[in-house]
Chains A and B, each alone.
Chain A
Amino acid sequence: MCGIVGLLVKNPAMRAHLGELMMPMLIGMTERGPDSAGMAVFTPPVAESARKYNLYSPEMAAQWPRLADELAMSLGGKPELHVKGNHAIIVSSLPPADIKAWLKTRYPNVHLLSVGRAIDVYKDTGLPADVAARYDFSQFQGTHLVGHTRMATESAVTPAHAHPFTAGEDWCLVHNGSLSNACSIRRKLEREGIVFETDNDTEAACRFLEWRMREGDDLRTALQKGFDELDGFYTLLMGTKDQLALIRDPFACKPAVVAEHDDYVAIASEFRSLAHLPDIKNAKVFEPSPKEMYVWKV
């Protein structure tokens, strides 16, 4: 069991309160996923040449400024740094390949959570309320977010195994369910030169779909290939810089409920996470059909 939540605000006035609106959604999914929680939040994009790098390391808490200084000394430039305990965001206009290679060599224990112009990712072990307090989830601002509460069934409980998973740039995925052919998808992608960071089944789905889009598929075509390729139970919620997407397996083994309102679109595993949204009584609440694609644009 796991819980998923997603929120996209259509009313620009709500962007400043995105985190606040989301908090009851995440807390509502505590029983479905009490061991870890995570959130990807999409903000207005940074400059076209720049990228945000979200980093995680429990050993680095007091040393993020040192990392930023060393990065500047090694590669030049003056990276921007935002720190929240174990988590840091570095904004830099240096080539992403250089930064990734430098991090890997110089700080191999720092986990690179996400890269992109809009995405920030926070994930950690613990009760959703504790994880949210640790990283100030209620203060999030932005256009949309994708969150998850985890009850692990197939791999270890670590921050790296928590969702969302990311691949490429400005792309994330959360999953409720279990994939039965994750290993064969993984072997196929590894032959394409794609590197995995964990043994988690969800990472295979995340990297498969990102690979398809990098190969030129649009989101819908990639999701169609996902239906053909992924075997198992899944409700998948995905975020791009300007879209949320949702699919359920053909047997609808894992739940999802959607609320469409003039001001927002909200998605959760169960209605109890939608019940506290403003004016929910006037939202169109429905269960997404199995094997259908649902895509909402900012």
Chain B
Amino acid sequence: MESINFDLNSTPLREINQYLHGAPETLKGKSVTIANPNGAHNIAVGLKADLEVTIQGHAGYYAAGMNQLAKVSIEGSAGTGVAENMMSGMVHVKGFASNAAGATAQGGLLVIDGDAGLRCGISLKGADIVIGGSVGSFSAFMAQAGNLVILGDAGEALGDSLYEARIFVRGKVHSLGADCEEKPMQEADRKILVDLLEKSGHADISPDSFKLFGSARTLYNFHVDNAGAY
């Protein structure tokens, strides 16, 4: 596999991102490393090619945002909005992720080995997110589709105003948001969980140690009893 190495100490970020935005057929199969990210914002955003990118340290805001097809690995922590609005591909954060990780992501897989901050998977639209640690408050707020797998604990108001996303939690849930409730785990749900644990390097963890949460669907339609709440 052809490997290209960039160093953010000597090459401006815009130049690196422009290289990564080259013709997808030429970039396909390539492996790119980016040294000394030092918390810079917008590293490897908007990729559209099936290549591998390794960010060798801590990334700033919006790393790998809007990703399609690419596999982006961050060998440190990620700032706000990592993999936001991802369409496909995979983003792997080996440290912790700040707020709004995977926000509005429509496809692909986001794996965070450490903790994720608040509002993880907010307005999730179909992607899968696996968090090795715990997530902060208001995670999966208004999540519409996709799966959030939390190996640790969840903060306050988990899954508030949830639509059809699934939330699997192995640890404690501090509190559930409006219209989010525990659901019996069906065979189909279990299969999804087992598959995601395998893909994210957690095949050793039993799916039986998780609880499933989903939407109670009481907020889907207007109900006169709720009129006072609007």
List residues of chain A with CB under 8 Å of any chain B CB. Answer: 28, 250-252, 255, 270-276, 285-287, 289-290
Residue ID in chain A nearest B37 by CB atoms: A275
Which of A274, A276, A290 interacts with B118 by CB under 8 Å? A290
CA distance A287 to B138 in the complex (A): 17
Which of B38, B57, B96, B138 interacts with A286 by CB under 8 Å? B96
B73 at interface (Cβ–Cβ under 8 A)? no
Which of A250, A252, A255, A271 interacts with B38 by CB under 8 Å? A271
Contacts of B58 in A (CB 8 A): 271, 275, 285
Q: Are B117 and A287 interface neighbours, CB within 8 A? A: yes
Contacts of B80 in A (CB 8 A): 255
> 30 A-B Cβ contacts within 8 A?
A28-B39, A250-B137, A251-B118, A251-B137, A251-B138, A252-B117, A255-B80, A270-B39, A270-B61, A270-B79, A271-B38, A271-B39, A271-B58, A271-B60, A271-B77, A272-B38, A272-B39, A272-B40, A272-B60, A273-B39, A275-B57, A276-B38, A285-B58, A286-B96, A287-B77, A287-B115, A289-B136, A290-B118, A290-B136, A290-B137
CA distance A186 to B43 in the complex (A): 43
CA distance A239 to B118 in the complex (A): 27
Residue ID in chain A nearest B59 by CB atoms: A271
The interface centre, meaning the residue of B39, B60, B61, B77 with most chain A CB atoms within 10 A of its CB, is B39
Q: Which of B49-101 contact A (CB under 8 A)?
A: 57-58, 60-61, 77, 79-80, 95-96, 98-99
Residue ID in chain B nearest A250 by CB atoms: B137
Q: Say how far A267's CB is from chain B's closest CB, in angstroms.
A: 14
The interface centre, meaning the residue of B38, B115, B136, B138 with most chain A CB atoms within 10 A of its CB, is B38
Which of A250, A255, A273, A290 interacts with B98 by CB under 8 Å? A255
The interface centre, meaning the residue of A271, A275, A276 with most chain B CB atoms within 10 A of its CB, is A271
Contacts of B38 in A (CB 8 A): 271-272, 275-276
Contacts of B138 in A (CB 8 A): 251
CA distance A276 to B58 in the complex (A): 12
Contacts of A251 in B (CB 8 A): 118, 137-138
Contacts of B96 in A (CB 8 A): 286-287
CA distance A117 to B201 in the complex (A): 55
Residue ID in chain A nearest B156 by CB atoms: A250
The interface centre, meaning the residue of B95, B98, B115 with most chain A CB atoms within 10 A of its CB, is B98
Residue ID in chain A nearest B117 by CB atoms: A287
